[in-house]
Amino acid sequence: MANSQVTSNNGHIKAIRYRGNRAPLRHACATFAFPTDANYTATVEQYQCLTLSITAGVISAGRSIFLPLLAEAEYWVTNNTAQTVTFIGATGTGVAVATTKSARIRCDGTNYIRMSADA
């Protein structure tokens, strides 16, 4: 960790970790659902978290969640939907996480790579 900073957002204290010139990742969990039956692009507040937990929402088929292609970004992801969810960047390959499973994923700047088996 190059350096760290603590900030307050809406009265909540959040620790932020910086990796050199990479985007900061918070030590927090983002839990969200698919708002529509379509692929979804994570918001800044969501993708800056270290843990992403996806709840059911309204998807009827496998869907993708688009994350930024930030080199060395790592996430613990949990798929709590009834469909397979693929975590992917705008280009490159992604990681499909099965229904009710969790996995650790990492971005190499081009692709998202599975760092653990579904658990």
What's the whole-model pTM score? 0.77
- For 22-69, the pLDDT digits (tens) are 555 566 889 999 999 999 999 988 988 899 999 977 899 999 999 999
Q: What is the CA radius of gyration of the chain?
A: 14
Contact 73, 46 (CB under 8 A): no
- For 71-80, the pLDDT digits (tens) are 989 999 999 9
Task: Decide the pairing of beta strands 12-18 and 74-79.
Answer: unpaired
Cα 113 from Cα 106, distance rounded (Å): 5
Taking all residues of the chain, what is their mean pLDDT, rounded to a whole number? 82
**Domain ranges (residues) in the chain:** 28-114
Cα 93 from Cα 42, distance rounded (Å): 17
CATH top class, domain 28-114: mainly beta
